[in-house]
A and B are shown apart, each in its own frame.
Chain A
């Protein structure tokens, strides 16, 4: 394993039998798993190149049990790794040898559907899609739609601040959650926010969202639901050059149009997807845009015309416009199946997740082409073009010595380029362990120390999901110390400017 995880605590491992017994006293029956065979499914999450059996798996089904488990581990100095459905692509739920893996899979109940306040109160183990399904009969849905929405849990979505193809118009998880019940590492149970539009005091819901399981364990979530748009139609537009497709995206946004979704695929991705789902994608183009417009029919019809004109102005070579739901779904089928489609043409692939300013797209794709030649590995690109979120898929074969390391180095170079072009290391998959050691590319030590001090406010002993997000672990006491800056603290007078 190339990523160093925190050193395991032999004293904890020596007490394993006693720890398992204590956990069984809290979570009876099948809720504690300690046999090697039964723990196998928990060894990794969606970042499958990394595997590690935990010390023990605990699957509580009440908030009180979660609280007691955490309180016990807190008192005993035992590390805890929370896990939802295990679909994280950044290794957020990778277990620790000396850690308890705390699975929230039994929190499967939707507690309340409140159409008048347009919210759903749910347990964290409910899948993203199940929330939309529970309110569909009244015309509502939950907007963020990560491509793993059949399987991924809403608790995991909050932990990772998940996005999806529609977040250009409807926002990410953070823009669609209102409140939660959270258990701190100490076992303390807190309620943050609720059905009101805003919390009082500091926006703790905002900081919990996207904290990758390092601040607390969420046991209930209140999400906003929206009415489904009346209609949705999509355009599928091909371009002979990537630059022209990039320009088309910029001009659509510049014209004041915010599509429901705007996706781009490059030639390798188009070919892989077409071979897999036969969506009728043009094979002689360098870039394909799928642009979805939603709203009342008159609005969608008008915007389709405007977007078509913009695309022609940018030199599009093909343009198909959906005339039925089945046709629209077919346009999307290839894009949505892009990852498995690429999986068919390569034994292994690595999915990256950087964001760049939209305008830097041609530059970024040119850089990826150069890197592909340098590392001698193929790369297919799918791209949430509307919000600048790149998903390069690096193809490799783990059975060939050195290829995985080369693929990882290629991926790291892509993310460095994203930062160089004014973007960020991760748009929606999270830092986890995957991008942990790249954090200094984007943040200074001071920036990271401020983030870790915040972690200390929630978990002073650093027991919750350690080894994720931050490349260097510091003790809270050390972070809290006020440093003397070049003797300046000696001056009692305020400066004048």
Chain B
């Protein structure tokens, strides 16, 4: 397969125009760390953006950074970390779950839009993308948004680009919001709750004024398969519910005391401080219990987003019905479900239960043959699906970009 290595936005335009003319759909990659997500594509050339890797401008006092889309996420995170800043939505490192090394590029981070635990407080990738330059499937460079947070000038195309998996346009440069890193963090830990009780405890915490920035639950059964930082938490196979508080030290200590009291009915509270707390949340963000290198490494994994208060009951039913394992983030609003290997990854029963709970499910990890035959992304209601396709055509009428990745080309 041909690989094209554009050096700038103009090269990207040329590549897309030639692809349109030659009717040769392009697969768009940065470092290619997320190529195993989505349907196998009907593309016959690769557009590799890794040479567009410059940091165009970093202005800590303006809380913004402008980078080319092929910039390595690790490098950019180190840069903003040096000024005590971060991407507040905690972008997931998919290498743990997928087993493809590297945390990828900024473009991949936005295109995938996979936010971590702090999404409940800080929003997702879509909330942090302020502006973009991109090349549409017309082969035209366009810009949207700007370099300031408060902006309502024209349609907010950034929202569409985030989470579009490279199917609307090839981003060449993006401006992102950065936020100060909290001075300290503390995690409150409750042990031994079943999924439904844990969901209630998380709901109580998130409905409190204590500004919880992470709410997750790990049932006891997942610790057997966990090898990383989380393995130590579930000693003896106990379930663990964790709640994170962040901010200046005095505030965190004060809120930890108040939240502990508010949750007294759910049992004794243990505390994890700063670094010990941080590794736990990184493990949850990256779905360490279902790591590619771990005991559940060969199981298909679903990423389920649902109304948070219904997560416990839904996850419990999914785990029982599939004989699989689940973990919960976002106070129950995000469920990662690993199911035993089956040719259909149990898509029928999983989606039936998820839809009944008002949620949607994405098959985030599965072997290629399963991803060929099962809808990876949640199939949508007729009118919404049709509108989505019209939106896609408005950017890429010839379906040149990542053809077949989000919607199965051969769907019948």
Binding site for B on A (CB under 8 A): 114-119, 139, 160-161, 163, 167-168, 171-172, 174-175, 184, 188-192, 194-207, 209-211, 227-230, 250, 253-254, 256-258, 295-299, 302-303, 355-359, 384, 387-389, 422-431, 435, 439, 442-444, 446-451, 453-458, 469, 480, 482-483, 485, 488-497
B274 at the interface (CB under 8 A from A): no
Q: Which of A161, A207, A359, A455 has the most CB of B within 10 A?
A: A207
Binding site for A on B (CB under 8 A): 2, 4-7, 11, 14-15, 17-22, 24, 45, 59-63, 84, 119-120, 123-124, 126-127, 136, 138-144, 146-160, 162-164, 168, 179-181, 183, 203, 206-211, 247-248, 250-251, 254-255, 258, 305-310, 330, 333-334, 358-360, 362, 377-378, 380-381, 383-385, 387-388, 390-395, 397-398, 406
B334 shortest CB reach to chain A, Å: 7
Contact flag A494-B4 (CB < 8 Å), given A299-B247, A446-B142, A457-B387: yes
Q: Which B residues touch A250, using CB under 8 A?
A: 61
The CA-CA distance from A446 to B157 in the complex, in Å, is 14
Q: A356 near B148 (CB under 8 angstroms)? A: yes
Q: Which B residues touch A194, using CB under 8 A?
A: 307, 358
Q: A423 near B146 (CB under 8 angstroms)? A: yes
The CA-CA distance from A230 to B255 in the complex, in Å, is 11
Q: B84 near A256 (CB under 8 angstroms)? A: yes
Q: A229 near B62 (CB under 8 angstroms)? A: no
Q: B150 near A302 (CB under 8 angstroms)? A: no
B136 shortest CB reach to chain A, Å: 6
Interface of B (DSSP majority class): mixed
Q: Which B residues touch A451, using CB under 8 A?
A: 144, 154-155, 157
The CA-CA distance from A483 to B120 in the complex, in Å, is 44
Q: Which B residues touch A494, using CB under 8 A?
A: 2, 4, 15, 18-19, 22, 24, 45
B382 shortest CB reach to chain A, Å: 10
Checking A205, A446, A490 against B21 with a beta-carbon cut-off of 8 angstroms, the contacting residue is: A490
Q: A197 near B151 (CB under 8 angstroms)? A: no
Q: A456 near B394 (CB under 8 angstroms)? A: yes
A471 shortest CB reach to chain B, Å: 11
When A and B form their complex, what is the total count of cross-chain residue pairs whose Cβ atoms lie within 8 Å?
298
Q: Which B residues touch A296, using CB under 8 A?
A: 209-210, 251, 254-255, 258
A396 shortest CB reach to chain B, Å: 25
The CA-CA distance from A295 to B179 in the complex, in Å, is 18
Contact flag A174-B141 (CB < 8 Å), given A203-B126, A493-B22: no
Query: What are the 8 tightest A-B residue pairs by CB atom distance, in nearest-first order?
Result: A206-B159, A256-B180, A299-B251, A116-B309, A195-B307, A457-B390, A200-B360, A200-B378
Q: Which B residues touch A357, using CB under 8 A?
A: 59, 62, 147-148
Q: B390 near A203 (CB under 8 angstroms)? A: no
Contact flag A210-B395 (CB < 8 Å), given A196-B306, A387-B150, A495-B18: no
Residue of A nearest to B148 (CB): A355
Q: A203 near B159 (CB under 8 angstroms)? A: yes
Q: Which B residues touch A184, using CB under 8 A?
A: 387
Q: A172 near B150 (CB under 8 angstroms)? A: yes
What are 5 A-B pairs with beta-carbon distances under 8 A? A200-B380, A206-B158, A206-B159, A356-B148, A450-B138
The CA-CA distance from A210 to B179 in the complex, in Å, is 24
A257-B180, A457-B387 known, 15 other contacts, Cβ within 8 Å: A116-B203, A197-B120, A197-B334, A201-B385, A211-B155, A295-B251, A299-B250, A303-B248, A387-B148, A429-B152, A442-B153, A451-B155, A457-B391, A488-B14, A489-B20
Residue of B nearest to A161 (CB): B152
Checking A171, A197, A495 against B119 with a beta-carbon cut-off of 8 angstroms, the contacting residue is: A197
The CA-CA distance from A177 to B209 in the complex, in Å, is 20
